Amino acid sequence: MWKTVARRTVIMIPQIFLLSILVFLLAKAMPGDALTGLLDPSIDPAAIEAQRERLGLNNPWYVQYWDWITKAVQGDFGQSFRFKLPVAELIGQRMMNTIWLSLATLVLTYLIAIPLGIISGRYHDTWADRFITGYTYLGFAAPLFIFALLMLWVFGFHFGWFPTEGSVTPGTKPGTWAYAASKIYHILLPALSMALITTVTTVQLLRSEIIDTKQKDFITTARAKGASESRVYNRHILRNSMLPIAAFFGYEITGLIGGTVFIESIFSYPGMGELFLSSISLRDFSVVTALVLLYGAASILGALISDLILGIVDPRIRIK
Amino acid sequence: MGNTYGKRPEADRSPSGWRILWREIVRDKVALASFIFLGLVFLAVYGVSLVLDQKQIVTVDLFALNQPPSADFWLGTDYGGRDVFGQLIIGTRNSLSIGIIVTLLTGLIGVLVGLVSGYFGGTVDNVFMRFVDFFMILPTLMVVIAFVTAVPKYGVVSFSLIMTAFLWMGIARLIRSKALQERELDYVQASRTVGSSHFKIMFAQVLPNLSSIIIVTMTLNLAANIGLESGLSFLGFGFPESTPSLGTLVSYARNPQTLEFRWWIWLPASVLILVLMLCINNVGQALKRAADARQRRG
Amino acid sequence: MPFLEVNDLLVHYPVRGGIFNRKQRVVKAVDGVHLAIEQGQTYGLVGESGSGKTTTGRAIIGLSPITSGSVLFQGRDIARSGTRMPPAVRRDIQMIFQDPYSSLNPKKRVLDIVAEPLRNFEKLSAQEEKRRVRQLLEQVGLSAESIYKYPHEFSGGQRQRIGIARAIALKPKLIIADEPVSALDVSVQAQVLNFMKDIQKELQLTYLLISHDLGIIKHMCNFIGIMYKGRYVEQGTTADIFENPQHIYTKRLLSAIPDLDPSKREKLAKLRGAVNAEYEQFHGSYFDDEGLAHPLKAITKTHSAALP
């Protein structure tokens, strides 16, 4: 087992390296550099040139890359010219919001997927199954941003059941119960909107796994030996069908990254995705590159988690 | 006698791949309805947009801001007084066009890379697949958005190229795994022993066996690509302003006032995206069943 | 000079693994095979699955990479690693595959399948090509009308005949037949085998017949080689092998051939018991420390065995 982990982790290193180079080159390709935002336009060009030289902006790209990456590893991503704050600090403020949103979405995703998948798989070809399958069809086709927009329109604006923006009611004191309640209240509609769409693949996967497992010989054997129907389902079918779902977990993380960008933008939720979009519109590129790097690292980690779970679950694909 | 052989249609003897696919769509009433609907949308959108004047539609009209639907403006006007219905038609045309272009381009690259990689295996495969793995892991949305901002001369062409650059890996991976299975079959070995070149074997022998899976994947990808394009346009990183897409119309809803009170601007486009994607997916799923003999309905 | 001569053929496959995917050990699929076939002969290669007989056949025709050794076809080395087989030789050596289902491309019509070798080597007009394909189909006992059909419209035996039509399209000199009938119904096996014998006479073919079925081998072959774990155990004429087996492994194989005559059942069971006892007793001396056969020793001019 440790070999699988080791090998998979070894594969990760060049991926992260490549990612950092890509992000760096992207940053270089973007119009303007670290000085564009900092400087007063009235400063004399010669002074700017001196400043550029001092900051190493005239060095060859690999030297600049090395400077950038060594700082990035230490958590120094430069300054945001918009907020006049270190990028790391800025992201730190937003990161918790995105993590809470993602966690809530994940929890809701599985809370929806597991019962629906089990009902649909266990009683397949009944009306309940047809209804659930219809929902998954719809959810599979519907783009997240359209669905979220409709949810916001209907439940946020039309009925007014949920707040339509922000992550907490302004003026609430952190640490109080009211604060926590307000946070949960603000997170509910965005998380539900995302979960209702992302859960669809998991429902489909669980359903087909259960239907497949139902027809396997060992289930027939279990029945033949006189195991009760509930025992057959709980001990044999579910246990075997849940494994692929577990393995899918890491990829959910990757999927969430794209999702949160849309959701945070639509619900004006102050997370990293919203920060990413506003920074890119305002050309605050040091924030943008840091975020792309961070999101990329999260994706790589998600894939790693999935592969490792898959390795634990299915001994056949373990690396020998 | 000799000549009649060449002329005889062989379809009456055994159904070709295309026929099986078509038969499955016809049998599946929902898929057939979706297919017909898509055909009508196509005809309507491309037909009507020929008579519409795009310049006139995207021109700001200050005397007709945010008007609700009326006889003059079937779906009202937006904040710039532009006719929403006209934008809807042109937006659908643009969204469909770019969806198709990107799907074809990604399909072409993906099939080529996947086929070569899977057929040869070994080092070629290893190098290609490490590369593909890396791109698959990237947070596509962010990277595409970052590229869109980084590209100096931004337009429809560069937008489709950026989308293509980050979307061909899925199909490459799929085709590669199928090619890997195919090349183990004896017919590939047989072709080698009768002296066919690798090139001929890949494209004349193996590729036809992958055709149905390619069609299915490309259909499903078309829906996904239209979704991604409208999503990017919604966020403001898709088509440039002068070329409205369905996503552009939906993006007006990012203004809470528009979202709450002026449904005619964004709701029709949203519903149209939803319906288009649902229909394309329906057709794709029917094709998928046709391609997988075990699930065929008859 | 023999028609086909294989010298000290080695086919080794690396097994990779570990964190950096390094070569950890090798599987010796074929481990030092010598064989010689005369023109017009049928040479049978026998062994259990995993004995390397199929790999030997595939190495000769260039489908499996050769680690070392040489394959001389009419005195010409045709299997030097890294070089492509010369086209003239490619035409002369053809193969009949084991599985008639996977060896025909399901998306191609019979015309395209049988014409594939012709298209590669002969520039024929469409008319001429069709005429040749029809002729070939008739030669293998299929209706000339079937050229526009797809493989799935044929039975296993018919499909194998299509495979044979493809193999003989270029009028080859040597055909490697890898278990040509083992995927077929027993009732069809004899048909296909006898048909193979007929076209052998007609086209003066040389066969290398690979099989695990000693009955088929006895029926078809003049010369036999027996393989075990990548090495030769014994070789000789059909008479040498069937009437005077020397190696305990050969004896054991022969004793396992079923006999349809029930009156001999007891006698056969006794024989098997005796052979088994001998095998157990002498196993250590007939095989080396790794359980592999020793080098061959000549017994007569035609007969040799891996005796201790």
SS3 C138: helix
pLDDT of residue B3: 41
- Is B250 in the A-facing interface, judged by CB distances under 8 Å? yes
Taking the C-alpha atoms of residue B262 and residue A87, their distance in angstroms, rounded to an integer, is 38
CB contact under 8 A, C17 and A319: yes
C14 touches chain A (CB under 8 A): no
Nearest to C40 by CA among C226, C225, C244, C203: C203
Residue range A4-30, pLDDT digits in tens: 778 778 878 888 888 888 888 887 777
Closest residue, chain A, to C22 (C-alpha): A320
Whether the predicted pLDDT of A247 surpasses 90 = no
Whether B235 contacts chain A with CB within 8 A: yes
**A87-313 has which fold?**
MetI-like fold (1.10.3720)
Is the CB of C20 less than 8 angstroms away from the CB of A10? yes
Q: Does A320 sit within 8 Å of C19, measured CB to CB?
A: no
- Enumerate the residues of chain C whose CB falls inside 8 A of the CB of residue B8: 148
pLDDT digits (tens, 9 = 90+) for C179-207: 988 888 888 888 889 889 999 998 899 99
In chain C, where the domains are located = 4-229
What is d(CA C211, CA C219) in angstroms, rounded to the nearest whole number?
12
Torsions phi, psi for C162 (to 5 deg): -60, -40
In one-letter notation, the amino acid at residue A287 is V
- Closest-CA distance of chain A to residue C5, Å: 40
Pick B186's closest partner by Cβ from C97, C126, C170: C97
A19, B138: Cβ pair inside 8 Å? Answer: yes
Please name the residue of chain B whose CA is at the shortest distance from the CA of residue C175. Answer: B193
Lowest average pLDDT, out of A198-207, B197-206, B237-246, C178-187, goes to: B237-246
Task: Return the minimum-mean-pLDDT range out of A25-39, A248-262, B173-187.
Answer: A25-39
Touching subunits of A (3+ CB pairs, under 8 Å) are B, C
Kindly list the residues from chain B whose CB atom is less than 8 angstroms away from the CB atom of residue C87: 195
Distance CA C26, CA C136 (A): 43
pTM: 0.84
Is the predicted pLDDT of residue A38 greater than 60, yes or no? no
Q: Identify the weakest region by mean pLDDT among A17-31, A188-202, B52-66.
A: B52-66
Contact call for B193 and C63, based on CB within 8 A = yes
Q: In this model, does residue A55 exceed pLDDT 80?
A: no
Element (H, E) at C177: strand C174-178
Q: Where are the domains of chain A?
A: 87-313
Residue A245 has pLDDT above 90, yes or no: no
Are B277 and A138 a contacting pair at CB < 8 A?
A: no
**Contact across the interface for A137 and B141, Cβ inside 8 Å:** no
d(C-alpha B254, C-alpha B124), whole Å: 47
What local confidence, expressed as pLDDT, does residue B14 receive? 47
Task: Work out the pLDDT band at A244, boundaries 50, 70, 90.
Answer: confident
Which of B157, C108, A208, A1 is closest to A9 using CA atoms? A1
Rounded to whole angstroms, how far apart are CA atoms C140 and C161?
6
In whole angstroms, what is the distance from residue B211 CA to residue B228 CA?
Answer: 25
ipTM greater than cut 0.90: no
Count of Cβ atoms closer than 10 Å to residue B297 Cβ: 10
- The 10s digit of each residue's pLDDT in C64-79 is 888 888 888 888 888 7
A7 interfacial to chain C (CB closer than 8 Å) = yes
Please report the pLDDT score of residue B5 as a whole number. 41
d(C-alpha C235, C-alpha B204), whole Å: 42
Instruction: Give the chains touching B; criterion: ≥3 Cβ pairs < 8 Å.
Output: A, C
Structure tokens at B224: 């996904």
Place of tokens 């074809």: B104
* Structure confidence at residue C237 as a pLDDT band (50, 70, 90): very high
Residue in chain A closest to C20 (alpha carbons) equals: A7
Nearest Cβ partner for B260 among A157, A298, A303: A157
Of the pLDDT bands very low, low, confident and very high (cuts 50, 70, 90), residue B58 is low
Q: Kindly identify which residue of chain A lies nearest to residue B255, measuring between CA atoms.
A: A266
Note whether B235 contacts A291, CB cutoff 8 Å: no
For chain B, positions 126-185, list CB contacts with chain A under 8 A. Answer: 130, 133-134, 137-143, 145-147, 149-152
Is the pLDDT assigned to residue A280 strictly greater than 90?
no
Return the residue in A11, A146, A165 with the most chain B beta carbons within 10 A, the one to mutate for interface testing: A146
Per CB-CB distance under 8 Å, the chain B contacts of C153 are 13-14
Tell which of A1, A5, A7, A12 to mutate to test the C interface (max C CBs under 10 Å).
A7
Q: Three-state SS for C25? A: strand
Local structure of residue C273 (DSSP, 8 states): H
**What's the average model confidence in pLDDT over B283-291?**
82
Q: How far is C29 from chain A (nearest CA, A)?
A: 21
> Does residue B236 sit at the A interface (CB-CB below 8 Å)?
yes
- Work out the mean pLDDT of chain B and round it to a whole number: 81
SS (H, E, C) chain A: CHHHHHHHHHHHHHHHHHHHHHHHHHHHHCCCCHHHHHCCCCCCHHHHHHHHHHHCCCCCHHHHHHHHHHHHHCCCCCEECCCCEEHHHHHHHHHHHHHHHHHHHHHHHHHHHHHHHHHHHHCCCCHHHHHHHHHHHHHHHCCHHHHHHHHHHHHHHHCCCCCCCCCCCCCCCCCCHHHHHHHHHHHHHHHHHHHHHHHHHHHHHHHHHHHHHHCCHHHHHHHHCCCCHHHHHHHHHHHHHHHHHHHHHHHHHHHHHHHHHHHHHHCCCCCHHHHHHHHHHCCCHHHHHHHHHHHHHHHHHHHHHHHHHHHHHCHHHCCC
Report the percent of chain C where pLDDT is more than 70.
Answer: 96
CATH no. for C4-229: 3.40.50.300
Cα separation, B121 vs C108, in Å, equals 24
- CA distances (Å), origin C49, targets A71, A226, B66, B168, C253: 61, 40, 79, 42, 13
Nearest to B148, CA basis, from B158, B138, B157, B140: B158
pLDDT confidence of residue A234:
78
Mean pLDDT of B214-224: 91
Q: Find the mean pLDDT for residues A255-267.
A: 88
The pLDDT of residue B10 is 40
Residue in chain A lying closest to B133 (CA): A15
Q: Does A3 touch chain C (CB under 8 A)?
A: yes
Closest residue on chain A to C17 (Cα): A320
Q: What is the DSSP letter of B203?
A: I
pLDDT given for residue B267 in this prediction: 86
Q: Between residues B37 and A249, which one has the greater pLDDT?
A: B37
Residue of C nearest to B205 (CA): C105
Structure tokens at B6: 């060449």
Look at residue C5 and give its three-state secondary structure: strand
B243, pLDDT greater than 60: yes
> Rounded distance, CA A61 to CA C219, Å?
75
Q: Chain B contacts of A152, Cβ < 8 Å?
A: 259
pLDDT at C307 over 80: yes
pLDDT of the residue at C44:
93
Phi, psi dihedral angles at A183 (to 5 degrees): -60, -50
Handedness of CA A83, A86, A92, A95 (dihedral sign): positive
Percentage of chain C modeled with pLDDT above 90 = 26
* Distance between B201 CA and the closest CA of chain C, angstroms: 11
A152-174 pLDDT per residue, tens: 888 888 888 888 787 777 777 77
- B168-182 in b/e form (b: 16+ CB < 10 A) is bbbbbbbbbebbbeb
Q: Please report which confidence band the pLDDT of residue B4 belongs to, taking 50, 70 and 90 as the band edges.
A: very low
> B9 pLDDT band (50/70/90 cuts)?
very low
The pLDDT of residue B15 is 53
Q: How far apart are CA B64 and CA B83, in angstroms?
A: 9
Number of C-beta neighbours around residue A319 at 10 A: 17
| Strongest mean pLDDT among A175-184, B13-22, B75-84 | A175-184
A-interface mutation test, from C15, C16, C19, C21, most A Cβ less than 10 A away? C19
Among B166, C17, B130, B165, residue whose Cα is nearest residue A13: B130
Least confident of A217-231, B63-77, C147-161: B63-77
Neighbours of B261 (CB within 10 A): 11
User: Can you tell me the distance from the alpha carbon of C240 to that of C247, in angstroms, rounded to the nearest whole number?
Assistant: 12
Between chains, do B254 and A265 touch, taking CB under 8 Å as contact? yes
Residue A147's pLDDT band (cuts 50, 70, 90) = very high
Whether residue A10 lies within 8 A of chain C, CB to CB, comes out as yes
Q: How far is A227 from chain B (nearest CA, A)?
A: 30
The reply to whether C106 touches chain A by the CB within 8 Å rule is no
Mean pLDDT of chain A: 82
Q: Which of residues 124-163 of C touch B (CB under 8 A)?
A: 126-127, 130-131, 147-150, 152-153, 163
Give the pLDDT confidence score for residue B28 in this predicted structure.
81
Burial of A147 from C-beta contacts in 10 A (0-12 / 13-18 / 19+): buried
Residue C119 distance to chain B (closest CA, Å): 9
Chain C residues in contact with B1 (beta carbon < 8 A): none
In this complex, is the C-beta atom of A71 within 8 Å of any C-beta atom belonging to chain C? no
Q: Are strands C174-178 and C206-211 parallel, antiparallel or unpaired?
A: parallel
Query: How many residues does the structure list for chain C?
Result: 308
Give dist(CA A129, CA A301) in Å, integer.
Answer: 35
**Distance in Å, alpha carbon of A236 to nearest chain B alpha carbon:** 25
Is it the case that residue C133 has pLDDT exceeding 90?
yes
Q: Which residue of B has its CA nearest to C115?
A: B194
Closest residue on chain A to C24 (Cα): A320
Question: Do residues A319 and C22 lie in contact, with contact meaning Cβ atoms separated by under 8 Å?
Answer: no
pLDDT reported for residue B254: 81
The C-alpha atoms of residue B99 and residue B224 are separated, in whole angstroms, by 8
